[in-house]
Amino acid sequence: MSSCHVPSSAKRDDKADLVVALAGNANVGKSTLFNQLTGLHQHVGNWPGKTVEKFEGSLVVDGYKIDVIDLPGIYSLSTFSIEELISREHIVLEKPDVVINVVDASVLERNLFFTLQLLELQTPIVIALNMVDLAEDRGLSVDEKKLSEILGVPIVPTIASKGIGVYELIRQAINVAERKTKLRPMNVKYGKDVEERIEKLTELIKNGDLHYPPRFVAVKLLEGDEDIKKKVDKKVVEAAEKFAKEIEEIRGIPVPIVIASERYAIISRIIKESRKILAPSKIGLVEKVDQLLTHKILGYLIMTIVFFSSFYAIFTFGDYVSTILSAAFETLKPSIVNITGEILWEGFFGGFVAGVTLLLPFVLPFYLLLSILEDTGYLPRVAFLLDNVMHKVGLHGKAIIPLIMGYACNVPACYACRIMDTQRERLISAFAVTFIPCAARIIVVYGLVGAFVGIEWAYALLLINLAIIMGMARLAFKVCPGESMGLIIEVPPLRLPTMRVVLTQTWNSIKSIMYVVFPIYIIGGGILAALYSFNVLQPVEELLTPLTVEWLGLPTYAGIPLLFGVVRKEMVIIMPAILFGTTDFVSMFTPLQMLTLAFVAMYYIPCAATFAMLKKEFGWKTACYITAFEVAFAILLGGLFYRSLDALF
């Protein structure tokens, strides 16, 4: 073994010396650890399934340039879900120099189930025994020396959220990667009947050109792993199927359960030797609160209050800040216009002002509240409460998580639909998500309806929206073929939100929005002003009048904002604000027109970014279908909405 301490970076300049992957169960702190290591800002939160794609970062430590890969959380190396496939393929095909297996010390048994599989995969690993603080609160004491002895791999206790143990961990990882630490990975042995057949299969596979170790392949074949089946000879698959049948006959249960049972039996023995249960120290109040939050009656009451007061807070805060900022810019405006006196400048500046006065005051509280909800662990509890409601529309409780995220922005919410277990459920929930009025649409609803027609109308629009979402999900459920699975979700511990985490998360979201959005507003505003001054847009507006004026009862100048709204929904009111130089929309629309415009803007099309996400997740065809459907839906319903309200007013 070379003891050369000079890293090989001299040879490969920009390439990393080592690649370290973080793998483990969902919600164990992989991304928190990743952020600690790399200084980046991966999404963290207290619910399982946030990271759905691998993510890279790097750090330099002790003279090594290390690439760190954050992987999605998984419970097993089978390939039911996209996350499992991503993680497995990364570990096997890209062969990181070392895998840091992040383990939740407070749920050791279930976490070791994954560890055993990594051992079977013969990957060099180091275990990060994370959340030792939480384990201690629960009165669980893990003897990491003993555990390390049994498993034959190094173990470092960590508290990722506080950065404790992180340096030691990375040093151990380097030692393993550089082969300075010898691993003596434990052999995972099954019962005699199973073992005999694994050995026979292994013999058959040995010569095959696979990236996976033959024994791992043999076990997976017995379990009936579809992905592995495709990778081996037909004869081997047939042999495996025969063996699997024999095992099922002997044991009376299918092979995957036989294997899982035996792994858990091994783990029970390991736990017995390496973990002590002391008296739990810190339960009581949290437990009581938790019981209330998921109580069969009070739980629903609290949930309603939480969501209603969230919207109330957003509207109140947004209105307050928006008014102050508008007033501030109002005093600035005349002098600036006088200096330059140019329409174009008015457009640019108008775009900027509209962004500051309309977007920030509303988007900020949304992200703040969402981060708080995420960090407390409330979301999985809502999933529990609303499981049977979601069943009525062909989904299950987990779908509520992307739906709630959708209120901040549809784009990450569509991504989050990957937590659903089947492709069909992912599609249905993503379709439902596109109907969720994101912060941008809430701005339209508030800016037009809440501010000038009456806040109760804004709430009414949101309630109607809930009914529409349920109807749409139900429709998609009827139309989409495929299979559904029931709810199975881990309930993470409830806790008070951490200020630092919440603020960092909010700031990161807001920052990335501002980078994208302000240029769009400013350039869009400039272009709009220029086009208007050259009389380019009027013919387009004319063209749209049958739709805007005749069918929807809107003024002619509503056409262009609706077109701009395809880029970002809030443009629907930001454009008129720029054109008229004010956010006092009373001069532009009648109350009925405000209601109709807000209603149409809520549904008429997924914005450009959402479309791109739909395309990425489900392909061109599906994205186009959804878009076409929503355009038709919004126009049809918008006209009916206008007519029925017209009769009322």
Partner 1 sequence: MDNSGAGYSEPHRHRHRQRFRGLVSLLELKNGQKGVVTLLQGNKKVIHRLSELGIVPNTVVEVINSIPFGGPVEVLVRGSRLAIGRDVAKGILLRVEEDGK
Residues that bind partner 1 (CB under 8 A): 75-76, 78, 80, 106-110, 113, 140, 191, 223, 251-254, 256-257, 260-262, 264-265, 291, 294, 296, 380, 383-385, 387-388, 391, 396-397, 421, 483, 485-491
Q: From the list ligand GTP, partner 1, Mg ion, none, pick the one residue 380 interacts with, judged by a Cβ distance below 5 to 8 Å according to partner type.
A: partner 1
Question: How does 276-287 read in b/e, with b if 16+ C-beta sit within 10 Å?
Answer: eeeeeeeeeeee
**160 binds ligand GTP, rule: CB under 6 A:** yes
Q: Rounded distance, CA 100 to CA 124, Å?
A: 9
Q: Which does 518 bind (CB under 5 to 8 A by kind): Mg ion, partner 1, ligand GTP, none?
A: none
User: Counting contacts by CB under 6 A, is residue 32 touching ligand GTP?
Assistant: yes
Closest contact distance (angstroms) between CB of 259 and partner 1 is 8
DSSP 179: T
Nearer to partner 1, 191 or 639 (CB): 191
Q: Does 51 bind Mg ion (CB under 5 A)?
A: yes
- In order, the DSSP letters of 550-578 are IIT---GGGHHHHHHTTT-TTHHHHHHHH
160 contact, one of partner 1, ligand GTP, Mg ion, none, CB 5-8 Å limit per kind: ligand GTP
Q: First CA to last CA across the chain, in angstroms?
A: 85
Nearest residue to 447 via CA among 605, 327, 325, 318: 318
Residue closest to 34 by CA, chosen among 17, 15, 53: 53
Place of tokens 């090594």: 64
- We find the least distance from the C-beta atom of residue 47 to ligand GTP, in angstroms, to be 7
- Two tokens at 403? 């739906």
Q: Is 51 in the site for ligand GTP (CB under 6 A)?
A: yes
Distance CA 636, CA 640 (A): 7
Q: Report the residue from 73, 365, 561, 565 that binds ligand GTP according to the rule CB under 6 A.
A: 73
Identity at 495, one-letter amino acid code: R
Owner of token pair 């002790």? 62
Residue 486 binds: one of Mg ion, ligand GTP, partner 1, none (C-beta under 5 to 8 A by kind)? partner 1
Nearer to partner 1, 384 or 629 (CB): 384
Which residues on neighbouring strands pair with residue 101, listed in sequence order?
Answer: 23, 127
- Tell me the three state secondary structure of residue 130: strand
String of DSSP letters for 205-230: HTTS--SS-HHHHHHHHHHT-HHHHH
Identify which of residues 47 and 243 has a Cβ nearer to Mg ion in the complex.
Answer: 47
Q: Cα 37 vs. chain centroid, distance in angstroms?
A: 21
Cβ–Cβ under 8 Å, residues 367 and 404: no
If one asks whether residue 214 binds ligand GTP (CB under 6 A), the answer comes out as no
By beta-carbon proximity to partner 1, the closer residue of 52 and 562 is 52
Does 46 bind ligand GTP (CB under 6 A)? Our answer is yes
Would you say 166 or 597 has its CB closer to ligand GTP?
166
Q: Does 450 bind ligand GTP (CB under 6 A)?
A: no
Say which residue the tokens 């003596």 belong to.
184
Minimum CB separation of residue 411 from ligand GTP in Å reads: 18
Does 401 interact with ligand GTP (rule: CB under 6 A)? Answer: no
In angstroms, the CA 277 to CA 319 distance is 53
Quick one: 145 or 295, whose CB is closer to partner 1?
295
Q: Is residue 393 classed as helix, strand or coil in its secondary structure? A: coil
**What's the closest the beta carbon of residue 255 comes to Mg ion, in angstroms?**
31
Q: Could you say which of 133, 227, 246, 248 contacts ligand GTP (CB under 6 A)?
A: 133
Stretch that binds ligand GTP, among 48-56, 303-311, 398-406, 618-626 (CB under 6 A): 48-56
d(CA 264, CA 284): 30
| Contacts with Mg ion, residue ranges (CB under 5 A) | 30-31, 50-51
In the complex, which residues of this chain contact ligand GTP (CB under 6 A)? 26-32, 44-46, 48-51, 72-73, 130-131, 133-134, 159-161, 375, 501
